[in-house]
Structure formats: structure tokens, C-alpha cells
Amino acid sequence: MNPNSRISGRFYGVGLGPGNPDYMTVRALKILQSADRLVHFCRKGKRGHGRTIADAVVAPDAAREIALVYPVTTEIEARDPAYGSAITPFYEEAAENLASELEAGHSVAVLCEGDPFFYGSFMHLWRRLAPRFPTEVVPGVTGMSGSWTRAGVPITWGDDVLTVCPATLDHAALVERFRATDAAVIMKLGRHLPKVRNALKEAGLHDRAVYVERGTMADEFICPLPDKTDDAAPYFALILVPGQGRRL
């Protein structure tokens, strides 16, 4: 933090884990119970997933809650210039609104599914606010670690190299990454499932891959990827390719 920053409210990024509130840390629980403001990202007309995880430990309270409603989500590809034109002003405005709360002396906790520093929207607020205010980031269990544990799939053995790929990469890039690694996790699956499936087949990894949908959550679904014959995948779905390294 800049030593010249004004000392006021404290800014938190709180990792809530992969979905099941039982995987929440004690530190996360303490902040949820004490913060003046609880902030969550959401789609228009819906509560954010981070807020629904927190429901297990903190009741809804309109006086404490701030919803940050995305102007776009998956309807525009992230690489499309139109996506940046819509989402960057959203983060700028959200950061300034939270800055006003912090300047007023309020503690502000942003609720993050998984870990705040792993593909998290929180990071876009953090880079704008952390240089200006006292900040604490609370790590959380990632969706991928929750998923491979629930699937009973040790992801790396011995000297295995693990690669984490967003499914938004193009087919050729995915094949290149898959061929160069021992184990893989493919995130942000959604409508990209057919492309990822084909890339895994081309790289020779399809038969040992595992599909996990909503890992650790009440409606969790897990199966070998070859048994997943349709192309539908929700946002909270991923594919695991376990390594085959040294066994002792």
C-alpha cells in the first residue's frame, strides 16, 4: 500500500470457496460477520453466487449489501472490443462507489467464489483500490481443487506439470497446451465444451478426462468425459485431466 494513502475503511477480498459453505475458512467467516458492507457481483435480476454461498452464515441485510450488476456476461466474447467497452467503465464506476464507502470509514468486503486471485472479478477492483486503501485478501479453496477432490482424482503425481487453461482459447492453442503438459484443468467451459472435447481428442487426452459440473454444490455432477455425450455445460463446469506421474 502507498504510505501516503489515506487511512480509512479496510478493503477485503474474501474467498468463499468452491460452493459448499463448509469449505469456507474461519477468516472468511469472521469478515462476513463483521464487515460494514458486503459486496457481490451478479447478473441483472439475480443474486450473485458469492452471496448465495454466504447465505449459510450471514442473513440478507439491505443496509450492508451492495450488488454490482454486470452490464454484460457471456453474451459477448471477452476478446470482442465491445466487451471491454462495456465492462471497463463498469469496474471504474464500481471502484469509485466502493472508494466512497471506504473514505466514509466503512469496511468493505467483496464476496468471491473460489479464490479472489484466481480468474476473479475482484482483481479488477483490487488493482484500482488496493493502492489507495488498507487491503486484505483472504484466500479460498478454488473450484478446481474442490472438484478434483470430490471427483477422487489426484491431479498431479511426482513431477507432473499442471496446466490451467481457459476454454475460451482457440482450438489450436488448446491442442498446443494439452500436448505440452502432463495434467490439465480446463476452466470457463460453458458453450466451449465441443471445442475443448475435440482438442482433447486431438491431443490424445480425451479418454482420461473427467467432467465436473458444480463441484461441491448440492447439484454436483461428475462423470468421465467420454460419458458426457451432450454439449451442454453451465458456467460452473470444468474438465480435469489427471497426471500419470511417478507412483511410489
In angstroms, what CA-CA distances link 187 with 90, 149, 175? 24, 16, 15
- Domain for residue 23, yes or no? yes
Please give the average per-residue pLDDT across 233-240, as a whole number: 93
- Domain for residue 4, yes or no? no
Grid cell digits, residue 53: 454461498
Q: What does the DSSP assignment read for 154-207?
A: ----TTPPEEEEETTS-HHHHHHHHHT-SEEEEES-GGGHHHHHHHHHHHT-GG
Asked whether residue 88 falls in the same domain as residue 163, the answer is no
Kindly tell me the burial class for residue 218, based on how many C-beta atoms sit within 10 Å of its own C-beta (0-12, 13-18, 19 or more): exposed
* Final residue of a structural domain among 123, 141, 159: 141
Asked whether residue 125 falls in the same domain as residue 177, the answer is no
Asked whether residue 89 falls in the same domain as residue 35, the answer is yes
- Domain for residue 189, yes or no? yes
* Final residue of a structural domain among 141, 156, 182: 141
Q: Looking at residue 207, which CATH number applies to its domain? A: 3.30.950.10
Rounded to whole angstroms, the Cα distance separating 32 from 36 reads 9
Asked whether residue 136 falls in the same domain as residue 152, the answer is no
Q: Say yes or no to pLDDT of 239 above 50.
A: yes
**For the whole model, what pTM was predicted?**
0.90
Grid cell digits, residue 2: 502507498
Report the pLDDT value the prediction gives residue 10, as an integer from 0 to 100: 98
Q: How many domains does the chain have?
A: 2
Asked whether residue 135 falls in the same domain as residue 28, the answer is yes
In angstroms, what CA-CA distances link 69 with 90, 153, 227? 9, 36, 36
Report the pLDDT value the prediction gives residue 1, as an integer from 0 to 100: 45
Rounded to whole angstroms, the Cα distance separating 21 from 54 reads 7
| pLDDT tens for each residue of 11-34 | 999 999 999 999 999 999 999 999
* Final residue of a structural domain among 112, 141, 170: 141
Asked whether residue 136 falls in the same domain as residue 168, the answer is no
Q: Looking at residue 54, which CATH number applies to its domain? A: 3.40.1010.10
Question: What backbone phi and psi angles, to 5 degrees, belong to 168?
Answer: -75, -10
Asked whether residue 125 falls in the same domain as residue 149, the answer is no
| pLDDT tens for each residue of 48-100 | 889 999 999 999 999 999 999 998 765 556 666 566 678 899 999 999 999 99
| pLDDT tens for each residue of 115-160 | 999 999 999 999 999 999 999 999 999 999 999 999 999 999 999 9
How far is C-alpha 147 from the geometric centre of its chain's CA atoms?
13
- Domain for residue 229, yes or no? yes
How far is C-alpha 183 from the geometric centre of its chain's CA atoms?
20
Asked whether residue 96 falls in the same domain as residue 26, the answer is yes
Give the mean pLDDT of the chain.
93
Domain that holds residue 195: 144-241
